[in-house]
Structure formats: C-alpha cells, structure tokens
Structure 1
Amino acid sequence: MRPINDAHVAEPGLAVVEVAAADDATAFAVQELLVTRCAIAPADRTTREAGEPGVRLRFFLDLRQDVTIE
C-alpha cells in the first residue's frame, strides 16, 4: 500500500483506517459497519501483499461530519 498522505490526518477527527481480513467479504463488511456511524471515503477494492495472508482494505474516515441514516 502507498504511504499515508499528511492531508488525510491533518486535523483532529480525520483518520486512515486499514482493515486486514481473511477475505474481501469480511473487509467490506467492516467498512459497511463504519459507513453507518461516520463519514467515510469508501474503498472499492482490496489489495493483497505478496507473502502476507488475507487482504487489506484502506479507506478514509471523517468523524467531524454527522452522519444520520434514516
């Protein structure tokens, strides 16, 4: 994965979330759980690291925005 950009964590309330999971379905399920709680820039694909088990999913989270799902 690429290094984390300073802009992604430049202010309190911004975060980079990286999920390591056994498979794509699990990684995307974790992302979906967070979508219901806060604003995120969702990822649309996972990555695999050579020699590492499972998959990784990185997305960006903004706790400063109120998310209301009706």
Structure 2
Amino acid sequence: MEIEAQHINEPGLAVLDIAAADEETARAAMAGLQQQWATSGITPIWHVPGEAGVRARVYADVRRCPGTVD
C-alpha cells in the first residue's frame, strides 16, 4: 500500500502502519494511539496472503491530543 502525499503534506502529520499477530492486538494498538493523538480512529484490518499476522494503517496528527480544537 502506497502512502499518498496529500495525507502527510505538512509537519506533524504521520502515517502509521501497524503489524500485529491478530486483529484484537491491532485494534488495541489503534485504540492506544487514538488516546495519545488525534487519529483516523480504528481503521480496517487486513491480512496479506502468505504473511503472518494482520495489518492496519492509521493517520495521526501528532501536534494535537484527542479532544483539542484548533
């Protein structure tokens, strides 16, 4: 999966690719990130055939904590 430039076009925006053993762990990781920063939330989880575990992608604004307003 390719990262598109419009998603990270300014400082403080990040794309986080998550690799986990199972869906429960991936969801827990996304929930933890969501408590730390403003993120895209719990995103779809997928499995790559032939690879162990699952993957997910989260977009985060590391300049803001959850609940802050610009």
Q: TM-score interval w.r.t. the shorter chain? A: 0.7 to 0.9
Gaps of 5+ in 2: none
1:52 paired residue number: 51
Count of residue pairs brought into register by the alignment: 68
C-alpha separation in 2, matches of 1:34 and 1:8: 17
CA RMSD between the two structures: 1.7
Q: In the TM superposition, what whole-angstrom CA distance separates every residue of 1:5-26 from its partner, at most 9, and x where no partner exists?
A: 1011111100001110010000
TM-score between both structures, scaled by the size of structure 1? 0.85
TM-score between both structures, scaled by the size of structure 2? 0.85
1:19 paired residue number: 18
Q: Percent identity?
A: 37
Gaps of 5+ in 1: none
Q: Does 1:41 align with 2:35?
A: no
